[in-house]
Amino acid sequence: MDNTILWSGIIGQKDAIDRICASLDAGETHHAWLFVGPRGVGKWTTAKVMAAALNCEERGCGSCGSCGKVMREIHPDVIHIEPEGNFITIDQVRQLQQTVSLKNFEGNTKVIVIDEADKFTPEAANAILKTLEEPPPAVVFILVTANIDAMLPTIISRCRQVQFSPIPAPEMATFLMERHSLSYDEAMLATKLSSGILGSAISFAVSPSKQERRKKVLAIARDIDRVDLARLSFVAEELLAEIKKGVAEVQERQKKEFAWLKEQSGQKDMPAHLKKNIEQKHKREASREEHQGFEEILTIMVSWFRDIIFSKETGRDDLLANQDRILEIKEHVDLVTGADIYRCLQIIEETKQLARFNVNMQLALETMLFKIHEVVTVKDTSYF
């Protein structure tokens, strides 16, 4: 396995990285790769590292200018594609086809990284298939998916598959302790709360605002039966404000990054292609933060109700995600039926599915809260 710094930063995927590095070392780089595995286990990061390796003399040193640009997602010859809204559209593919036909700006290999490659529209899927069947020279496609069953078999057959596995909890916790100086308890809490998603674990571990968000959402889940029905709309607004706060933090960080990159360019006006790449990257990041914020709130809600059912049915504290809330969870075990808890989990899952569509987030959160309130609020006995 390659031990350069960028490769060594990917944890829990030794088999996948060994296979990719063996191909690179042998000079047998296939024109199309398909990274398959659960969400959040390192597929996207690995795709970026592979793109860096293809354009780095030391195969991913992490310190040269090319590696820096690739990892910041501003390299002009590394193109990132992800769904616009719910799907990757034919217009995106047509623009991509035009891009790959152009000469490289500065890199040896043009790399196209396509996230959520299972979300092509039928027309777009057929168009990208034609490009994969007749690939341009010195172009490598890396498709990333957590749902290979939704992809065209003909697209799959054109790609070299690499399987990614869930990251073992002990390995993730060790990484958090070593790289982010967490205590064992802090690392294990972040690991359990992340549902196996390393990026979420890191974000929770190092971000006070994420930790504060968790406290607020858990309080809402815990006390929802005691909230006046008329106030639920305001509660939904509070949750939406948490999402917007996360987006605002990303945008503030982006302003600083833009100013730094402009200074680094040493020019009064930043080169047009670099400015375009930065703007596209920032748009992706803001959109991603908004959708992830919505999902994160729902995941925290799920963790509360799931912990209650786990405690009720097994009595095992080690299975609970919210290890710092065990006493609170135990207090609620006998105050609600298992059927009602499962109904709450179903309501949250239905709300999570709405994230796949361009729904009004506040309306979706309001509807969810009203439904859960109706389930957990009883008239004759008190709950929570």
State how far the alpha carbon of 165 is from the alpha carbons of 20, 22, 36, 268, 299, in Å. 15, 19, 9, 46, 21
Domains of the chain: 5-166 (3.40.50.300), 207-376 (no CATH)
Looking at residue 19, what is its pLDDT? 94
Q: Residues 190, 201: contact at Cβ < 8 Å?
A: yes
For strands 139-145 and 32-36, give the pairing: parallel
Choose the weakest-confidence range: 4-8, 49-53, 135-139. Answer: 4-8
* Whether the Cβ atoms of residue 29 and residue 55 lie closer than 8 Å to each other: no
Return the closest-CA partner of residue 168 out of 278, 41, 343, 51. 41
Per-residue pLDDT tens over the stretch 297-306: 999 999 999 9
Helix (H) or strand (E) holding 99: helix 90-100
The single-letter DSSP state of residue 135 is P
pLDDT at 203 over 70: yes
Mean of per-residue pLDDT scores for the chain: 89
Helix, coil or strand: residue 84: strand
Q: What per-residue confidence (pLDDT) applies to 281?
A: 83
Calpha distance 297→221 (Å, rounded): 10
- pLDDT for res 378: 63
Answer whether 190's CB lies under 8 Å from 42's CB.
Answer: no
42, 12 in Cβ contact below 8 A? yes
pLDDT tops 80 at residue 193: yes
Confidence bin at 382 (pLDDT 50/70/90) = very low
Model confidence pLDDT, tens digit, residues 13-70: 999 999 999 999 888 789 999 999 988 899 999 999 999 999 998 888 888 999 999 9
Report the candidate in 111, 106, 161 with the shortest Cα–Cα distance to residue 135: 111
Q: What is the pLDDT of residues 94-108, one digit of tens each?
A: 999 999 988 888 888
pTM above 0.85, yes or no: no
